Structure 1
Amino acid sequence: MAVEVHWMGFDTLKMGLSQTHFNLIVTILLGVGAVQALEMSVGKIPFLEAVNGSTVMLPCTYSSCIGIENLYFNWQFNDNGTMQKVCEAMIPTDGAVPNVKMYKERFEFVGKNKNNNISILLWNITFEDGGQYTCFGRNRKEKGKNHSAIFRLIVVDELRVVDNTLTIIIASAVGGAIALLMGFMLLKNFTLFVLSKLEEKNKECLVTSSGIDNTENGLSGSKVDSKPKTPKQK
């Protein structure tokens, strides 16, 4: 279902609504049109570094909220500015396995349209295979709109060995700082615990000492004879 915008109708609608409500309606209508679009994806990492002579997969999937009808797709290779078609096919409906026509050697269609997968495999890559590959799609339900995603293949003699020395040093420094902080916190808590115990012991000593002094002075826990003693008569 395509969203058609008639500006005269929008002007009439705008006259009867506040600016905020009008903007909200426009946003919703445009959003409905956007979610219908076909999307081609080559994954979160759109490039691959591979060794000369190895076999690699060039990933691509498609998705559409409104489904597909005669979805046309192809893979193209950018050969120094000249687009060379690698393969192409038509997918009539959701879940149908396409009959893919291949135009270049050493390429194989491996997606089989399972989970909307239209990936291809490239055998025994050479340095000439390195470059930009485009996964293209066009869904008839969208009235001929074109969509594409780009994947870059980098061919090298050998994979670079990543030097993790700096990472290890940073990780060790961070780990040592965390361990030192934890040790400091433990020492602090232990010191506070010891001081609290000593303070409690001092309080007990003060209370005990005060009780003894008061008893000796006849103030607490002792009886004082208020009657004066009369001398014995001879």
Structure 2
Amino acid sequence: MASLENTGWSVPGLLLVLLLVFDSDVLHVRGLEVTTGKVSTLEAMNGSTVLLPCKYHSCIGISNLYFSWHFNNNGTMEKLCDGVVPSEGVEPKVKVKHQRIEFVGSSKHENISVLLWNITFEDEGEYTCFARNPKEKYRNHSAIYTLRVVDQMREVDNTLTVIIVSVSGGVIGLAIIVMVIKALVVQFLMKDDEKNKECLVNASGNDNTENGLTGAKADNKGTPKA
């Protein structure tokens, strides 16, 4: 077995490498993350109110977590609101800088979402949710949510869905009919089989009688006279 001296590694050097690797993994796994959910694009009608979702998460906890929302206004990042979450479970102090923005998040659910009221076509674009955690050496992370504004919602063509449902219903109905017919045929065959068995039993009795077996007519003849 090779020793540390033969490999050229010293004990302090090996420990340093192991610590660096371990620390890198920990930071990668436990680092601050910000997400806008599974769907990052929303299409909404002009004049409606939309939710801009955002959540943060850190496995090692937070301390004075700073967050903000920005709107990409033709290349210029316009701040909509920002705030600080002092610690876990403590509600943040939020400064709203846009008249149609309302903060609806809660630190109890690690939620920093906002509502955008009465949207217009000018509100269409990218919204960035940003967070920074001093407890993780000021590690930061951000996520982008895209808003599309339309005059009216597009009608979804359900023709294919209707066809699939109709075909599925027809197949299920046909399967039920086949099962009912099969049950009736089996029942009919069972009755016919019972009749055949009765017929065979009767026929066997008649044969025994004609052959003079026990209980046959031959046994009933009188004793011949001397």
TM-score > 0.5, shorter chain as reference? yes
Question: What code does the residue aligned with 1:68 have?
Answer: I
Structure 1 unaligned residues grouped into runs of 5+: 1-5, 13-25
Asked if the contact 2:105/2:111 (under 8 Å) is kept, the reply is yes
Give 1:156's aligned residue. 150
- Summarize the alignment of residues 5-16 of structure 1 with structure 2, pairs less than 5 Å apart: 8-9=14-15
C-alpha deviation, 1:221, in angstroms: 2.5
- Summarize the alignment of residues 20-99 of structure 1 with structure 2, pairs less than 5 Å apart: 33-99=27-93
Structure 2 unaligned residues grouped into runs of 5+: 1-11
Aligned residues: 211
C-alpha deviation, 1:198, in angstroms: 0.7
Distance 1:152-1:165 versus aligned 2 partners, 3 A rule: same
Quote the Cα distance in structure 2 between the aligned partners of 1:11 and 1:60.
Answer: 37
Asked if the contact 1:211/1:220 (under 8 Å) is kept, the reply is no
Asked if the contact 1:73/1:135 (under 8 Å) is kept, the reply is yes
Asked if the contact 1:58/1:151 (under 8 Å) is kept, the reply is yes
Question: What code does the residue aligned with 2:188 have?
Answer: V
Give me the CA root mean square deviation.
2.8
Quote the Cα distance in structure 2 between the aligned partners of 1:180 and 1:48.
Answer: 42
Distance 1:7-1:173 versus aligned 2 partners, 3 A rule: farther
C-alpha deviation, 1:102, in angstroms: 2.5
Asked if the contact 1:41/1:61 (under 8 Å) is kept, the reply is yes
Quote the Cα distance in structure 1 between the aligned partners of 2:95 and 2:141.
Answer: 20
Tell me, what secondary structure is at the counterpart of 2:213? Answer: coil
Q: Does 1:143 align with 2:137?
A: yes
Give 1:19's aligned residue. none
Give 1:100's aligned residue. 94
Quote the Cα distance in structure 2 between the aligned partners of 1:31 and 1:96.
Answer: 29
C-alpha deviation, 1:181, in angstroms: 1.5
Quote the Cα distance in structure 1 between the aligned partners of 2:157 and 2:207.
Answer: 76
C-alpha deviation, 1:104, in angstroms: 2.9
TM-score (norm 1): 0.78
Tell me, what secondary structure is at the counterpart of 1:57? Answer: strand
Give 2:197's aligned residue. 203
Over 6 Å off, 4+ runs: 28-31
Quote the Cα distance in structure 2 between the aligned partners of 1:144 and 1:163.
Answer: 49
C-alpha deviation, 1:231, in angstroms: 6.0
Distance 1:11-1:74 versus aligned 2 partners, 3 A rule: closer
1:122 is aligned, of 116, 120, 123, to: 116
Asked if the contact 1:76/1:133 (under 8 Å) is kept, the reply is yes
TM-score (norm 2): 0.80
2:165 is aligned, of 171, 174, 178, to: 171
* Stretch of structure 1 that moved more, 121-130 or 110-119: 110-119
Distance 1:230-1:70 versus aligned 2 partners, 3 A rule: closer
Quote the Cα distance in structure 1 between the aligned partners of 2:140 and 2:69.
Answer: 13
